[in-house]
Structure 1
Amino acid sequence: MELDLNSDEEEIASVVRDAIKIHGHVTRLINNAGYVMIACMEEMSISQAKHLMDTNYWGAISLTNAFLPHFQGPSFEALKMETEHFGLNVMLIEPGGFRTSILEEQVSSRQRNPISDYDSISGALYRMLKTQIEIFFGDPKVGCMRIIALLTNTGLAKQIGNGEVPTRVALGSRSYENTIKKGEELIDNATKWKEFSFSTDYKN
């Protein structure tokens, strides 16, 4: 079945209903990446920015909203709290560098309007990523297998999680390293500004 994530609510709901008719019920929804556009602000038109958000952000929101009433049995952090009393599980999987075709021209369908003044920023970043993607450590096939293991609570996921569904999982070595680095930065910053943070509390 095909679905444009930029479709209106009724069209999305219609495709969801057709899927339910075919399969009877739904147990899992995977909101995957849409497309990327590497550009500085001036290189991206408002319509391009809106299309990017409509696809990558609002598309996921629309599809989740359309499927939620149809979930049966086990299936972000805010969504997890909203749905856990229904017996639904919400998980954020954060992939690192995987060797995929996401930067290929046909995938990145909305191209920026290059401005020479920004080539040292957006142009250099795009060229660097195009070069690095070939040496990323992540194997997309293995990554998909790990995602399936997380969704079905089998294999290594079951062994590590002991049957519990994690709220978020770093997928890939780079994602793990970035998560640890970001966590340490957040702790250091919070510790540094602790006195400032506490100064807003009532004195009594």
Structure 2
Amino acid sequence: MSKVWFITGATRGLGAELARAALAAGHTVVATGRKPEALERALGTSERLLAVPLDVTAPGQPEAAVKAALARFGRIDVLVNNAGYGLVGALEETSADELSQQFATNVLGLAAVTRAVLPTMRAQRSGHIFNMSSAAGLAGFPGASAYCASKFAVEGLSESLSHEVAPLGIKVTLVEPGYFRTEFLTDGSAVFAQKVIADYDATAGEMRRGSRAMNGNQAGDPRKLAQALLTLSAATHPPLRFNAGTDSVALLEQLLTTRREELGRWRDLSLSLAYAS
């Protein structure tokens, strides 16, 4: 069954790969990004493709993009909130403005686009929302405190949203990728805190160096992830969370073990906190 996909951050990386895969599968795509000319270069032209300018942090632009999509295709079946970036730096190195911008894009922008699309999905009594989280939404990493915080926020927002919209026929899936070979870690995408404190060289400094070294060497294939999202979009009962990549799966398995062990060590103290009867 052909669906109308609305994809943010579609100029490159996973967003572009997903747009190409959806078009190749016979779907219709509304591809959005801050630079429409970059969308056209990345995706070409098609009767089933609409390129729409969208900065998710700009007031009014999400609503305008949705309006354009509905004017052209009449409905939106799948929303993919893919726009976002990573900020590398220790919390003390991160300025208030840098932290604010991280949340403005990764959290508030995602929420704004979702709010703009939800009236249409509610009226349809159908739809599927994919929110791009990260393995960094599962665990904290030194030198990525702001990015992890933004993805933890996406996790809580999306899980709560899933309960709100399930009675309306709308599905929500959090995608939690590990490292995929996209432009995410390039100088034009990854952002590094301007302030550098020598005391954090072994932690945040290592994250800076590791991010640059990892660029171009990530194990995950974004084309395969795009195909996986097509599979999930066709599932009758898709997962709330989808761990994407071997590193994401390994991280979750480790977390389940360590969280259970920690709970066991402190269980008696936790259970001792009730008022005595």
TM-score (norm 1): 0.86
Contact 1:98-1:133 within 8 A present in 2 as well: no
Counterpart residue number, 1:171: 244
- Pick from 175, 182, 202 the counterpart of residue 100 of structure 1: 182
- Which deviations, in whole Å up to 9, do the C-alpha atoms of 1:130-155 show, x marking residues without a partner? 213433221111111111111122xx
* Aligned pairs (5 A) from 1:60-139: 60-71=110-121, 72=124, 73-75=126-128, 76-108=158-190, 110-115=191-196, 117=198, 118-139=200-221
Q: Give unpaired runs (5+ residues) of structure 1.
A: 154-162
SS at the partner of 1:137?
A: coil
Greater Cα shift, 168-177 or 183-192: 183-192
1:44 equivalent to 2:94? Answer yes
Matched AA of 1:172: G
Runs of 4+ in 1 over 3 A off after TM superposition: 118-121, 201-204
Counterpart residue number, 2:271: 198
Matched AA of 1:31: N
Please state which structure has a larger fraction of its residues in strand.
2
Quick one: distance in 2 between partners of 1:104 and 1:44? 19
Quick one: distance in 1 between partners of 2:273 and 2:73? 54
Matched AA of 1:149: T
Greater Cα shift, 122-131 or 20-29: 122-131
Counterpart residue number, 2:10: none
- How far residue 202 of structure 1 moved from its aligned partner, in angstroms, is 5.3
Quick one: distance in 1 between partners of 2:188 and 2:247? 26
SS at the partner of 1:22?
A: helix
Counterpart residue number, 1:35: 85
Quick one: distance in 2 between partners of 1:45 and 1:89? 36
Quick one: distance in 1 between partners of 2:244 and 2:192? 28
Larger RCO: Structure 1 or Structure 2 (Cα < 8 Å, ≥ 6 residues apart)? 1
Number of matched pairs: 193
| Gap change, CA 1:33 and 1:126, over 3 Å in 2 | farther
| Gap change, CA 1:45 and 1:203, over 3 Å in 2 | closer
| Gap change, CA 1:120 and 1:151, over 3 Å in 2 | same
User: In percent, how many aligned pairs have the same letter?
Assistant: 26
Matched AA of 2:68: D
- Which deviations, in whole Å up to 9, do the C-alpha atoms of 1:2-25 show, x marking residues without a partner? 1111111x3321221121111201
Q: CA RMSD in A?
A: 1.9
Quick one: distance in 2 between partners of 1:46 and 1:104? 23
Counterpart residue number, 1:184: 257
SS at the partner of 2:170?
A: coil
- Pick from 35, 50, 53 the counterpart of residue 2 of structure 1: 53
Quick one: distance in 2 between partners of 1:33 and 1:123? 26
- Pick from 209, 221, 230 the counterpart of residue 148 of structure 1: 230
- How far residue 42 of structure 1 moved from its aligned partner, in angstroms, is 4.0
Q: Give unpaired runs (5+ residues) of structure 2.
A: 1-51, 129-157
Quick one: distance in 1 between partners of 2:255 and 2:83? 22
Quick one: distance in 2 between partners of 1:122 and 1:128? 10
Counterpart residue number, 2:137: none
